[in-house]
Structure 1
């Protein structure tokens, strides 16, 4: 039993790693039954890397956060080819969202990646939300529900598993779970009407995976975050909503849960609550073995039932089997290139006011609000690069948060901001710039200030997302 128990414990662990190549310890662990690997931009992802994983364990669940928009691991250097969920929600064309999802699935199919940790099925009901924001399709349940289904259908239609996140809904929070434990102060009735419909619909659409959110919902369970709550994960998600696929945690090193328990205890509690796979965003051989050993010890001590661990490992294996059975779908998707769909969506998502005004190279002032930790720090807004491609000689100044505007000269000025709705100091910076130069052009790459971010008489562009194509769409419009 001992060897089998260790293998079961390894199957439910899905770590990320440091470095651009697969470390020897990770390859060895895969040969010993490690169930999955999570990829990040730091890993220099290509098909050869994935082949190395599969050479050790053909059933490896290779997972990645490839949402499009602000959260990309494959296109982090230049920005995503797809505009992200908020932009798709603004357009509100479910056929277009499904096309985008299919193309993201096609990208992953080309690399032989099993699972996309997308889409965000969160209803971003609080504009001050610091971690979801433009990653959500929008602020209402109906909108998010129909686009969640379209996205899932697109990705899975390409033979890659989708993952609806962050159950039971991370949209009504003002705390980033990477940094602390958020609390959703909503009644059970409101939560059921507002936050659960996208997940219900995703389950009905056959989504293969769901990711739990590290958030406290007192109306559902006043004592434990969702990731560690049997009430939320087993009774609600499994029982009431009927989800039978693979349930994965958000990364367990996030402070929302890491401040409460050790990694091993988080893993044991999550498995006991109903989770099947433990996502460890950054691991080493030592830390991986510590978590494995904690799971094995819990089973031996009776804290965690062996049947529950076996069930979890079985669901990981079932996801790998689902993926293996869809090779024909992936082959078809690889040839189904819908070139330009991302730029098409980005153009349709633009909200503009004023008059396009650029006829020469501008000074671009990037007001650097700090993105959430879900966004790779190397991700560019892309606006400067897009304008430079159209107007050589474009200059760039990066302004630190709550810093001073640079001097303006005779050149046109483009002020690039993000999430003006969330940051009073950003709105004050815009007002100061316009007082100094009424012809300043404002480009907001996030959720603009109400009602649409526009200031009377100001040329204003809202892209509703960070991506290469969103930036290009904005630059094109400014040169009309």
Structure 2
């Protein structure tokens, strides 16, 4: 934190920041978090300046960022106040993972298991359309959901909280499609998660990479395959910090694994949309590699949007450091500039699809 305070003025005034085509492309890949729950937060105000200068393309809100309804509105106004309009993301699955609640004027969305047990797919779609309309009205345009994991009650991150729709792949995909379609009516872009399947893991990837090597089967891939082949394919798929040795023998979590992201998701399932990482600052990644290494390995694996909470080890200069990491990796042959440019173009396409606050909803 001390280093963060020391470098804050440099970041605030944008001194020494790169401004070339590559820097612009890297900015599109950055999905960054911030400290604070209102628009007086120095971290939020700096991030807003970096968004307005074109250094960061997307911002995500976590529970720590949610204060009163007025506080959330003020933060969204801060991020949207410049000429450059960012992608603004939040977790709005329902159940335990719903940041904006009745106290904020939002409809309660039950957990996925409850939705699947009590509502028809058509009723679920109506519920999700209402939730999407509320998000869009406030100013959000991205939602990290639906969960396509197989329901396993003993799973500490998913099953224990009822976050999965069931165990049958067709059933899961049907309700996930209702989720995507409902939010799409409001112009909210959704991210199906956690590829290639977190459901049967017995550890929580917030703390360490969840090893699914012994429990994962093709049945966990099928909900993703069905949803991606549906008429309303989600514009984003989120990878989890999941170790799957039969597919990725080097032991790398899916987030930074080319055999899983490029081989399994893009080539085998034919997915052409955006791949977004789970938070690269989570223990599953940060315990085994630096932030810079994680950024490069995620891009090299085939990811497009790189989620970095930037709370612990806060770095005001994160955007320009990311450009430096990418530039060095290109020079060393670890990455190609064409990889970076292609990822940035996919994100720009999404940016053109999401709804503007005063515009009409577009397909997402």
TM-score range, shorter chain: 0.7 to 0.9
**1:214 equivalent in structure 2:** 241
Farther off after superposition, 248-257 or 51-60: 51-60
2:361 to 329, 339, 353: 329
CA 1:30–1:131 in structure 2 vs 1: closer, same or farther (change >3 Å)? same
1:14 to 31, 38, 43: 31
Which aligned pairs between 1:34-433 and structure 2 lie closer than 5 A?
34-43=56-65, 44=67, 46-75=72-101, 81-91=108-118, 93-124=120-151, 126-133=152-159, 134-186=162-214, 191-192=217-218, 194-204=219-229, 205-223=232-250, 224-283=252-311, 284-324=315-355, 327-329=359-361
How many angstroms apart in 2 are the aligned matches of 1:164 and 1:200?
Answer: 11
* Paired residues of 2:58 and 2:87 also in contact (CA < 8 A): yes
Q: How far does residue 242 in structure 1 lie from its aligned partner after superposition?
A: 1.6
Q: How far does residue 80 in structure 1 lie from its aligned partner after superposition?
A: 6.5
Query: Superposition RMSD on alpha carbons, in Å?
Result: 2.3
CA 1:200–1:92 in structure 2 vs 1: closer, same or farther (change >3 Å)? farther
Q: How far does residue 47 in structure 1 lie from its aligned partner after superposition?
A: 3.7
CA 1:282–1:86 in structure 2 vs 1: closer, same or farther (change >3 Å)? farther
1:27 to 45, 48, 61: 48
The residue matched to 2:211 in structure 1 has which SS? coil
TM-score (norm 1): 0.64
* Paired residues of 1:210 and 1:246 also in contact (CA < 8 A): yes
Q: How far does residue 251 in structure 1 lie from its aligned partner after superposition?
A: 0.5
Q: How far does residue 233 in structure 1 lie from its aligned partner after superposition?
A: 0.7
TM-score (norm 2): 0.83
CA 1:57–1:307 in structure 2 vs 1: closer, same or farther (change >3 Å)? farther
Give 1 or 2 for the bigger CA radius of gyration.
1
1:145-186 deviation per Cα after TM superposition (whole angstroms, max 9, x unaligned): 211111111111221111100111100100000011111134
* Paired residues of 1:130 and 1:175 also in contact (CA < 8 A): yes
Aligned residues: 326
The residue matched to 1:328 in structure 2 has which SS? coil
* Paired residues of 1:59 and 1:317 also in contact (CA < 8 A): no
1:381-423 deviation per Cα after TM superposition (whole angstroms, max 9, x unaligned): xxxxxxxxxxxxxxxxxxxxxxxxxxxxxxxxxxxxxxxxxxx
* Paired residues of 2:132 and 2:182 also in contact (CA < 8 A): yes
How many angstroms apart in 2 are the aligned matches of 1:248 and 1:297?
Answer: 22
How many angstroms apart in 2 are the aligned matches of 1:57 and 1:254?
Answer: 32
1:276-326 deviation per Cα after TM superposition (whole angstroms, max 9, x unaligned): 010012344134443342223212332111111111111111111011489
* Paired residues of 2:52 and 2:84 also in contact (CA < 8 A): no
How many angstroms apart in 2 are the aligned matches of 1:325 and 1:62?
Answer: 11
* Paired residues of 2:281 and 2:291 also in contact (CA < 8 A): yes
The residue matched to 1:174 in structure 2 has which SS? coil
The residue matched to 1:127 in structure 2 has which SS? coil
Q: How far does residue 40 in structure 1 lie from its aligned partner after superposition?
A: 2.2
